[in-house]
A = this chain, B = another copy of it.
Amino acid sequence: MNRVFNFSAGPSMLPVPVLEKAASELLCYGDSGMSVMEMSHRSPDYEAIIADAEKMLRELMQIPENYKILFLQGGASTQFSAVPMNLIARTGKADYVVSGQFSGKAFKEAQKMGYDVKCVATTKDDNFDHVPALTRDMFREDAAYVHICYNNTIYGTKYPEIPDTGDIPLVADMSSCILSEPVDVSRFGVIYAGAQKNVAPAGVTIVIVREDLLEYADPKMPTMLEWKIMAENDSMYNTPPTYTIYMAKLVFEYLLSIGGLTAMKAQNEKKAAILYNYLDSQSYYIAPVKKESRSLMNVTFVTGDADLDKKFASEAAKNGMKNLKGHRSVGGMRASIYNAMPIAGVEKLVEFMKDFAANNPKA
Contact string against B for A residues 10-27, beta-carbon threshold 8 Å, 1 for contact and 0 otherwise = 111110100110110011
Distance of A40 from chain B, by nearest CB (Å): 4
CB–CB A27/B34 < 8 A: no
| A6 to B, closest residue via Cβ | B34
Q: How many Å lie between the Cα of A13 and that of B32 in the bound state? A: 13
Which residue of chain B has the shortest Cβ distance to A20 in the bound complex?
B27
- Report Cα–Cα, A1/B26, bound state, in Å: 11
Among candidates B3, B11, B196, B323, residue contacting A28 with C-beta atoms closer than 8 Å: B3
Neighbouring B residues of A320 by C-beta, 8 Å: 33
Which residues from B are CB-within-8-Å of A34?
3-4, 6, 13, 322
Q: Would A19 and B27 be within 8 Å (CB), given that A73-B73, A77-B238, A244-B244 are in contact?
A: yes
CA distance A9 to B40 in the complex (A): 7
> Which of A8, A37, A41, A113: most chain B CB closer than 10 A?
A37
Chain A interface size band reads 35 or more
- Give the residue of B26, B38, B202 whose beta carbon is less than 8 angstroms from that of A239: B202
Chain B residue contacts of A257, Cβ below 8 A: none
Q: Is the CB of B78 within 8 A of A11?
A: no
Highest count of chain B CB atoms <10 Å: which of A13, A31, A40? A40
Q: Is A35 an interface residue (CB 8 A)?
A: yes
Q: With an 8 A cutoff between CB atoms, is A259 at the interface?
A: no
